[in-house]
Structure 1
Amino acid sequence: MNLFKRTKYLTVGNEESKDINANAEEIPTIPDGMWIKCDKCNKILYNKEVEENLKVCPNCGGYFRLNARERISLIVDDGTFKEFNENMTPKNPLNYPGYEGKIKKIQEKTGLSEGVVTGYGEIEKKPCIIAVMDSNFMMGSMGSVVGEKITLAVEKATKERLPIIIFTCSGGARMQEGMVSLMQMAKVSAALGKHSDKGLLYITVLTDPTTGGVTASFAMLGDIILSEPKALIGFAGRRVIEQTIKQELPEDFQTAEFLLEHGFVDKIVERKNLKSILATILKIHNVRDVK
């Protein structure tokens, strides 16, 4: 009869699981968020170990996504970041049903007003303007406010004669804003054109994923284009392209490595080296240290 007795299961801090195992004695529990699964190798990892490794899988080297605040903390010198336009929030230009409620819910969840954080920062004492897109906010989709915040950041960099660095991470244009969203491609690109006319430096850092209208505009306009390893970078989806050209695409198509091989990316940089590489680029371009 012992074969049919309930065994003592390990719970994961879930109230429902506790009820199911209420009769078991001294059930050990694991706090929520202690473990995380790597999507690349499917291994269950100790979350603290992953965070200490800059959110890179210690087993296979796969990259977990960073949110905007984590990215800024990793790249910018402590205490130097000054955010711009942090309270700028989107409207609903097309009266899209449920859009305002969805935006409010995501704002509460992420603590962000929109899908990009912009501001002034220093990288190893070298001043620059930074824009960091966040995939947690509607997959970093480019709506009117994302375009406006990036444009204002570029214009500030132009006015103060500073380099600008944009970390891209986006699913593309935001469908709920339709044509208004697509117009941001031209607006940001025009601002970057004026920045370039002044002989100023623009660096893009492509992270996973960078797709759609963001790829088709400012992501690929950098004077220097860097990327994290194995980042997904492309415009249309793989299946759409294959159906259009009636050909099967290479296995590594739309990866950072594929784009590097074909001249679209200048260098793939590991996350642990990114700050020092950016500082070196700024130094080469005569960006002087802040005294």
Structure 2
Amino acid sequence: MNAFRLKNQINEFLQEAKQRIQTFIEFVEDENEELWLMFETLNEKAMLHMAVECKKEMSPEKFEQFISDLEQQYRIYISQARKLDKYSKFNLIVEVKQAWKRYKEIHRTFDYLQRLLKNSLTKMKVIVTKIDNLDNNTIIKYYSYLKDSLDEIDKVYDRIMKLLTYRLFEIDFVPYIDLMFAGNTTITKNEMLSIITPDHCFESKQEYIRSLPDEIDRDTFHCAIFVEKIEDIDNDVFAEMMFDSIMQKRERDEEVRKQMDEMIDEIFGDKLPTYQVTYDEYLQPIEIKRNPPKLKVIEGGIQ
């Protein structure tokens, strides 16, 4: 390939890659701040609900001390609790649903920007392959001409690989949902149906909803949402939050990950094949191998 044309390709690539890097960095900085503020707001609303509930059981003096301790220990300021006698648990749920919508948007954009960085690695591999295919005479002749661009490619590669380790701040939304059932309290079936979007397409789900008791506790709520999936498939907000919570626990906790893998093996066995993928330095798959089936010891031998 003509060295001048190659250098132009390198420069175009570097310009695009650096712009993607800058966009990614600015996004992570801005949105992590927004996510932290979202987390603080949800905590304040949750504490406000709990404080107003506690107010019913405390003397004014003890309640004032309770609020002061909260503010000093957690830096959560809920002066509204001093004025309110009631604060519906469903006010928090409204906040949670709104926050979840924005939370998803942020993480979806983050995933997209990550894919752009990985795409830059793919383009980089193409360029590096072209350089490797240059004959020795061309390399020697144009080395000084290409050197700065090659050094920049190395720097961009290192930067992208580091950025791909970045993570957005994560929020587990399920504890806020579960506050509806704090102290083993329940909600009515009508209240539950008012905060979700029930499915109206499948008769089996409607039958399940009709079979629910008038009073819904935490376990019944979780089962209805996550197991029976009674929400509309296009607006299954609570199921999404529960699934996200499980995936966070799986990623953070080795024991949880092990238990989930064992459960999947128990349910699906070899019906759900797994694969081991080997990647090159540009995160491109170079080998895909199916994992061998796991043998089980049963009575009479190995299966």
TM-score relative to the length of structure 2: 0.26
By relative contact order (CA 8 Å, sep 6+), the higher-ranking structure is: 2
- Which has the higher Rg, Structure 1 or Structure 2? 2
More helix as a share of residues: 2
